[in-house]
Chains A and B, each alone.
Chain A
Amino acid sequence: MTIDGWILFWKITFGVALTAYFGVALLAGVLGGFDLRRLLRGETHAEDDEPVAQASD
């Protein structure tokens, strides 16, 4: 690939990576706020605490 081709490739890569990072950060920030409130109030628990057999190959 030419130098210009590589520069374009890295520009697109930077764009995708930064968009994904800040997009997920925003999502985690909003959802995490609610999660934190439930966690501190003791309103959340492991979903597989119920008596079921599992985990074999």
Chain B
Amino acid sequence: VTNFGWIDWAIVALYVVGAGVIGFLCRKYIHDMADFVVAGRKLDTGMAIATLASTETGLVTVMYFAEAGYTIGMAACVLGVIFMVVMVVIGLTGFIVKPLRETRIMTIAELYERRYGRGVRVLGGAIIFLAGTLNMGPFLRVGAQFLGTITGLGTDAQSLLIIMSALLLVVLIYTVLGGMFSVSVTDFFQFLLMAIGMGMALVFIFGEVSVEQMANASVALRGESSLSPFEAPKLGWKYILWMTVLWIAACTLWQTGTMRIMAIKSPRLARRVFTLSGLTFGARAIIPMIFGLAALAYFQGHSFEGENILAMPTMLAKVVPTFWLGLLTAGMLAAFMSTHDSYLLGWSAVLVQDVISPLVPGGLSAKTRVWLSRVVIVIIGAFLLVFGLWHEMKGEVWTYLALTGTVYLSGALAVVVGALYIPWANRVGAYCALILGMAPPFVSLGHRFIKGQLLDDALVCLVAFGLAALGMVVGSLATQGVCPPVALARIHQTVGRGEGEQPRTGQQGDNQ
């Protein structure tokens, strides 16, 4: 039984059509790759906060954090605390964010080339693309599960196929047409819609279930340890340490977030935006977890037999009344579209800019790159549909996402910190960091996909971050004679823009 009625369908349809029209209208603002990928670096504080906060707060985010709250209990909220503290500290200190924005790159792998050479860029780009695409794998299915549950369309295989296909079609049209400029514009509306929708959902939820009832349900169904992040079965010190290191890397170096940082109009503003956005990232995890905990309490006296991930939307469909449910769903759908188009743009830009273009003699023209990005976007979309239909997720979705993220973030953190802060970091160290960093999570993913077994992912990923750092230090120091370090290539500012952008007054600076 769901409260979703025809008014709710109308609200959702209005949003989808409105977002499509905005995407189409924004085509006239796309002149080159920089406009397509980083919105011409023109975003000011308000727009930048909205776009940074909304790109990493998608429907999938809400689903997997709600699943974590429902499965683990109240202690899962420690993730929100970690995210907020890490981002605010990074924003206040400018660690990575400020020097990164000063480089005027568009992709992380572009930075690799400026400091370590083309080979590192191609390898790094390939790893980023592979990890990012795998990371996106469950998105379409999870989004369809939410919509199928909340609207009452169902979550059987046939319903999911129809919903996933429809969602994919809307996202592809919207992303391919508009690029980052339209993404930034609709991100702004999405952020507001999401804030209103989640705020109202919280009002209705707290009207039904109190925090004490959530805590009591957590203790009754998940044990007393489910209140303590240090003692809960699926958390503990190892997990907290992994999440802290992972988030330092993810919030600064995850390609889609990096694109937002690079779209901000100055390095100084980038720090401020990061600090303010960081304040929203606690709730980014905690609000969905409250939804999950509310579902735990709500179904304590009823019966809920479905998958854990479906508990939250099932509860929302019963607790949130008509009209508000439509507004919430439109917000969630907006978040879904925002995340998808950002990720599709991010990973396609990496493949085209960092892997394909450097391998083509003479490179590709800006126009060819934009078109090739659009082709790659459609191919990734097809992969999402196949993955969503055929892959059965083992364990929590969030752990899978953190694991696939570590494939690229472990090496990226060591290589980028080396590029920005360590004068003796060299090419050999960068290769060692990238290869050693990706190896452990790949082994774990292999166990998942081939044997259907889950390893201790917190340990695996901490080893990955450690090996990557060790690879950078030992690899660099051991080869200083044969491979002397090279300073970060300067960008000649007479051009005024980064790679792939239309020159304004002169030639772009060569790499060393």
Identify the A interface with B (CB < 8 A): 1, 3, 6-7, 10-11, 13-14, 16-18, 20-25, 27-36, 38-40, 44-57
Instruction: Contact check, B279 vs A23: say whether CB atoms are below 8 A apart.
Output: yes
Q: With A10-B227, A44-B265, A45-B265 known to touch, is A57 a contact of B487 (CB < 8 Å)?
A: yes
The answer to whether B45 touches A35, judged by C-beta atoms less than 8 angstroms apart, is yes
Indicate if the CB atoms of A20 and B265 lie closer than 8 Å. Answer: no
B96, CB-defined interface residue at 8 Å: no
User: Is B47 engaged at the interface, CB distance under 8 Å to the other chain?
Assistant: yes
Q: Which of A7, A22, A34 contacts B227 (CB 8 A)?
A: A7
Q: Which B residues are in CB contact (< 8 Å) with A53?
A: 490, 492-493
Do A27 and B276 have beta carbons less than 8 Å apart? Answer: yes
Q: Which of B474-512 contact A (CB under 8 A)?
A: 487-488, 490-494, 496-497, 504-505
Q: What is the CB-to-nearest-CB distance from A51 to chain B, in angstroms, rounded to a whole number?
A: 5
B102: chain A residues at CB < 8 Å are 48, 54-55
Taking the nearest CB of chain B, how far is it from the CB of A56, in angstroms? 5
In this assembly, does B350 line the interface, its C-beta being within 8 Å of a C-beta of chain A? Answer: no
Give a binary string over B265-291; 1 marks a CB under 8 Å from any A CB, 0 the rest.
111110000001101101110110010
CB atoms of A56 and B282 under 8 A apart: no
Most buried by A among B42, B185, B199: B42
User: Cβ of B155 < 8 Å from any Cβ of A?
Assistant: no
| Interface-central residue, A33, A45, A46, by most chain B CB under 10 Å | A46
Interface-centre pick from B44, B266, B290 (highest chain A CB count, 10 A) = B44
Q: Which residues of B contact A29 (CB under 8 A)?
A: 46, 50, 191-192, 195
Q: Is there contact, CB below 8 Å, between A55 and B47?
A: no
B-side interface residues toward A, CB under 8 Å? 40-50, 53, 74, 77, 80-81, 84, 99, 102-104, 115, 184-185, 188, 191-192, 195, 199, 202, 211-212, 215, 219, 224, 227-228, 265-269, 276-277, 279-280, 282-284, 286-287, 290, 419-423, 487-488, 490-494, 496-497, 504-505
Instruction: Provide the bound-state CA to CA distance between A43 and B422, in Å.
Output: 38
Q: How many contacting A-B pairs (Cβ < 8 A)?
A: 176
B423 vs chain A, min Cβ distance (A): 6
Q: A48 contacts B74, CB within 8 Å? A: no
The answer to whether A51 touches B496, judged by C-beta atoms less than 8 angstroms apart, is: yes
Cross-interface CB contact of A44 among B44, B224, B488, B494, cutoff 8 Å = B44
Docked CA distance A18–B199 (Å): 9
CB–CB B488/A25 < 8 A: no
Contact A7 B47 (CB under 8 A): no
Q: What are 22 A-B contacts with C-beta separation under 8 Å?
A: A6-B74, A10-B215, A13-B81, A17-B81, A17-B282, A18-B287, A21-B280, A24-B276, A25-B192, A28-B191, A32-B188, A33-B46, A39-B43, A39-B184, A44-B43, A44-B44, A45-B41, A49-B493, A50-B493, A52-B493, A55-B488, A56-B488
Please, which residues of chain A bring their CB within 8 A of the CB of B80? 13, 17
Report the minimal beta-carbon distance from A48 to chain B, rounded to whole angstroms: 6
Once the chains bind, are A21 and B491 in contact (CB under 8 Å)?
A: no
Contact between A49 and B276, CB atoms less than 8 A apart: no
Please give me the 3 A-B residue pairs with the lowest Cβ-Cβ distance, nearest first.
Answer: A31-B46, A32-B46, A21-B283
User: Within 8 Å CB of A13, what residues of B?
Assistant: 77, 80-81, 282, 286
- Closest B residue by C-beta to A9: B227
* Interface of chain B: mostly helix, strand, loop or mixed: helix
Contact yes or no, B104 A48, CB < 8 A: yes
Which of chain B's residues have a CB closer than 8 A to the CB of A3?
A: 215, 219, 224, 227
**Min distance, Cβ B456 to any Cβ of chain A, angstroms:** 25
Q: How far is the CA of A7 from the CA of B213 in the complex (A)?
A: 10
A14→B45 CA distance, assembly (Å): 26
Residues of chain A contacted by B99 (CB below 8 angstroms): 55
Contact A54 B490, beta carbon cutoff 8 Å: yes
What are the residues of chain A within 8 A of B81 when measuring CB–CB? 13, 17
CB pair A39 B42 closer than 8 Å: yes
Find out whether the CB atom of A51 lies under 8 angstroms from the CB atom of B493.
yes
Instruction: Write out the residue numbers on chain B whose beta carbons fall within 8 Å of the beta carbon of A25.
Output: 191-192, 195, 280
Q: Is the CB of A39 within 8 A of B211?
A: no
CA of A27 to CA of B269, assembled, Å: 15
Report chain B residues within 8 Å CB of A17.
80-81, 84, 282-283, 286-287
Residues of B within 8 A of A10 (CB): 74, 77, 211, 215, 227
CB distance from B325 to the nearest CB of A (A): 20
Complex-state Cα separation, A47 to B219, whole angstroms: 53
Q: A35-B43, A46-B40, A53-B493 are in contact. List 19 more A-B contacts (CB 8 A).
A: A10-B215, A13-B80, A14-B77, A16-B282, A17-B282, A18-B202, A21-B195, A24-B279, A24-B280, A29-B191, A31-B49, A32-B192, A36-B188, A45-B41, A46-B42, A48-B104, A48-B267, A55-B99, A55-B104
Cβ-neighbour of B496 out of A7, A28, A32, A49 (below 8 A):
A49
Interchain CA distance A16-B280 in the complex, whole Å? 10
